[in-house]
Amino acid sequence: MKIGVLLDSLRLGLDEGLKAAAEMQADGVQFFATRGATHPAQLDARGRAALKRRLPDLGLELAALCGDFGGHGFARVEENPRRIDDSRRVLDLALELGTNVVTTHIGIVPAQKSHPRYAVLARACEELARYGEAVGGTFAVETGPEPAAVLRAFLDDLGRPKGLGVNFDPANLVMVINEDPVAAVQALGPYIVHTHAKDGVNLKPVDAEKLYAAFAGEKVPGFLWTDYIDELPLGQGKVPWPKYLAALRAAKYDGYLTIEREMGDDRRGDVGRAVEFLRELLV
């Protein structure tokens, strides 16, 4: 497996972030392509060509692009035509820059197929999957708000499309639903195309609907998400890293462990230490 860095965790900007990732001796990087200078509409041909040269010059690969546009993912049918079109453009950019993986949150998958949101998410994912298969790319659904078994059943129900996979984030499962990442890998193994290396703890049971509504910018009266979850540096949370990595190997996953740090006052330091932490485990 290779070690990546989500550049947005460093809060240094693209150029300085790339330099920092190279100094940390990461193998690759990921960055958001949904905002700022790396949005497909902002990154012109000259900028794309320069970035394609810059990565190998620094000894880096592009592990994946992040195509998460925030909000409620693809749960609101009226927003989906624009979101799906924007997601296609992100995948086009990813392929041009050298990766075939775009990670994204789609919204909370209901356990019951009769739930109205299930059909909305299914239609959106079918469109994304068709486009991904047509161009040779994969939209990777990030784990977290629903149990792994529910996400697996959802993907199976879509017919196991080639253009749709999973971005496995063990910390999301630990923090939000207290799920064992090892068992979750066993459930989702065939779909995993990318992972986020993140850690954390669940402080007390949390309603995922309220949590992700808060993340989407909604006001949820009396709800403060920091009362429920705490993201921590790698090795300090509840992700059982040796067992988790063994489960990934057993699932024949040999891709990127892309470090993500969303909180903390020393994110650059935390990411650098996370690179070293993973290197020791991968020896």
The CATH number of domain 2-282 is 3.20.20.150: yes
> For position 185, what pLDDT does the model report?
98
| 2 confidence band (pLDDT: 50, 70, 90) | very high
pLDDT at 53: 97
What would the mean pLDDT of 237-265 be, rounded to a whole number? 97
Nearest to 68 by CA among 95, 51, 90: 90
User: How many other C-beta atoms are found inside a 10 Å radius of the C-beta of residue 159?
Assistant: 10
pLDDT in the model for residue 244: 98
Domain boundaries, the chain: 2-282
E runs forming strands in the chain: 2-6, 28-32, 61-66, 101-104, 138-142, 164-168, 192-197, 199-202, 229-232, 256-259
Round the average pLDDT of the chain to a whole number and report it.
97
- 148 pLDDT band, cuts 50/70/90, is very high
Count of C-beta atoms within a 10 Å radius of residue 161: 17
pLDDT per position as a tens digit, 80-137: 999 999 999 999 999 999 999 999 999 999 999 999 999 999 999 999 999 999 999 9
Could you give the count of Cα atoms lying within 13 Å of 93 in the half-sphere of its Cβ?
28
**Each residue's pLDDT tens digit, 153-189:** 999 999 999 999 999 999 999 999 999 999 999 999 9
